[in-house]
Amino acid sequence: MANLSDYFTQGTSAVYHTYTITNPDAATGNMTGWTADTGTGFEAYDMQTVADGVFDGINSQYAFGGGNQAACSSFQDITAVAGNITAALIDASSVIIYLDFYATSYLQLDTCRVYPIFLDGSGNEVRNHTHNRPSLYATQRREWVRRDQRFYVPAGTRTIRIYMEGERNNGTYNNSHVGLIEMSAVAVTPSATFTANEAAPYLVGVTEQSANAPGTGNITVNVPPGTADGDMLVWMQFSRNTLVAAAPSGTGWTERLDYDVGASTVTTPSSGDDTLNVWTKTWNTGDGSSFTLGLTDQGTDGYSMVLATFRNVTTFVDENASFGTTAPALTASAGDLCIVCHGTVFDISNDISAPPPTLRRVGSTLSSSAETGISVSSKVISSAGSTGTFVSESVWDTTVASATILVN
């Protein structure tokens, strides 16, 4: 869930509320709290039965799945007037909800979406739900990806219906899996002067890519959608038995970290072929919509990378890395953006799960036969001092490189 206190100041001008969703992640092993609409609706699916290896839900072994049907949908009704969110604030069109969910798929073919339907006190739609309905989302293969969404609540709303849809595009089982749904609201009193913290760093978009036995040549990586002039690009990659070029193509890239796993040292540049690398640059339209990175295959293993765009970030502050599961602590100032990377090898039986506590997932990817993987998370530092250390999710039993980066 978006940490609203990073962007708004609680007080007389703004209030927040986190709604309680019954069984938001299917962790109960059943569909308690949800009503089937299309077909038999979603079901609680045991993710450990996925055909090509053990794979958990977000908070348990279960997640929502579509069953043996071409299309399905389920919903849950939430009372809109709750906590600090009053009917008066809703009717003044002063409320925004943040409805976020995690999604994945078995073969990256089946699709899903989660969105709100706003109902009045009689159960009628206040506004046609097609105005809120996003496109069906093509989920990543065996990888939980977070979808952050924001919706304005129309005046007259008394119930928010959380609507979950899945569509099968291949095979027998509808693998449009949803792992966790969260919803919160922020409201601004109409008569008060209120300014959002528009200077807070935040994630704009992510591009992920991985491969086994990439060979020798260039990989091409697209700039994340939504990137605008002045945004900071952060390129993070983990490779095994693969030499990487000194920098991605184009101008303006600065290598911030080159961690040599074999030597367990941070050097810039290193000559190793098992490395965790980080480059940054400020992007402008003239830089183009994609970049390439040269690879030299040394042993047919692979690489995994995440290219992330952050806004309201201009300065690199510090970095450090270590061998194993623990990303080291750094000394931060209030408002710094802390980015944490974990790289893994030979993680055959497990997959990328939740980020370390207190962090939000930025992006993650695992190469097809699990030779390499990288997981990236972040948070805005609220007060000056040590960031503390960050330990990778316990299922990453072969995490070998961990790094902490500070930007501002």
Is 201 a residue whose pLDDT tops 80? Answer: yes
Percent with pLDDT over 90 in the chain: 30
Lowest model confidence (mean pLDDT) among 138-147, 193-202, 387-396: 193-202
Instruction: Identify the residue with better confidence: 141 or 46.
Output: 46
**b/e map 248-268, b = 16+ CB within 10 Å:** bbeeebeebbbbbbeeeebee
Answer whether residue 269 shows pLDDT above 70: no
pLDDT at residue 74 above 90?
A: yes
* Residues with Cβ within 8 Å of residue 286, at least 6 apart in sequence: none
Inter-residue contact 63 to 25 (CB < 8 Å): yes
- Model confidence at 167: pLDDT above 70: yes
Q: Which helix (H) or strand (E) holds 402?
A: strand 399-407
Indicate whether 148 pLDDT > 70: yes
Q: Which comes out higher in pLDDT, residue 357 or 245?
A: 245
> pLDDT band at 50, cuts 50/70/90?
low
When pLDDT is cut at 50, 70 and 90, the band that residue 85 belongs to is very high
Q: Tell me, what's the pLDDT at 349?
A: 37
Please give the pLDDT value at position 193.
Answer: 41
- pLDDT in the model for residue 33: 97
The number of beta carbons lying within 10 Å of the beta carbon of residue 332 is 23
**Length of the chain in terms of residues written:** 408
- The better pLDDT of the pair 300, 206 is held by 206
- Of 95, 114, 99, which Cα lies nearest the Cα of 154? 95
Q: Is the pLDDT of residue 369 over 70?
A: no
Q: Does the pLDDT at position 392 exceed 80?
A: no
**10 or 123: which leads in pLDDT:** 123
Distance CA 309, CA 293 (A): 17
| Cis, peptide link before residue 269, omega less than 30° from 0 | yes
Asked if the 4-188 domain carries CATH number 2.60.120.260, the reply is yes
Q: Token pair for residue 293?
A: 């990175």
Return d(Cα 389, Cα 392) in angstroms, integer: 10
The average confidence (pLDDT) of the chain is 80
The average pLDDT across 16-21 equals: 93
Residue scoring higher pLDDT (85 or 393):
85
Provide CATH 2.60.120.260 ranges for the chain: 4-188
- Per-residue pLDDT, 381: 87
pLDDT band of residue 43 (cuts 50, 70, 90) is very high
Mean pLDDT for 355-365 is 71
C-alpha separations of 279 from 103, 255, 312, 362 in Å: 28, 4, 18, 16
| pLDDT given at position 64 | 92
Higher pLDDT, 247 or 12: 247
Instruction: Give the residue-averaged pLDDT of 253-259.
Output: 90
**pLDDT over threshold 90, residue 54:** no
Whether 11 shows a pLDDT value over 90: the answer reads no
Predicted pLDDT at 291: 93
**Confidence class for position 81, pLDDT limits 50, 70, 90:** very high
Q: Which residues contact 54 (CB under 8 A, 6 or more apart)?
A: 48, 349, 350, 351
When pLDDT is cut at 50, 70 and 90, the band that residue 271 belongs to is low
User: Once rounded to an integer, what is the mean pLDDT over residues 304-329?
Assistant: 87
Q: What is the pLDDT of residues 274-296, one digit of tens each?
A: 788 899 999 999 999 999 988 88
Query: Where residue 139 falls among pLDDT bands split at 50, 70, 90?
Result: low
pLDDT exceeds cutoff 90 at 246: no
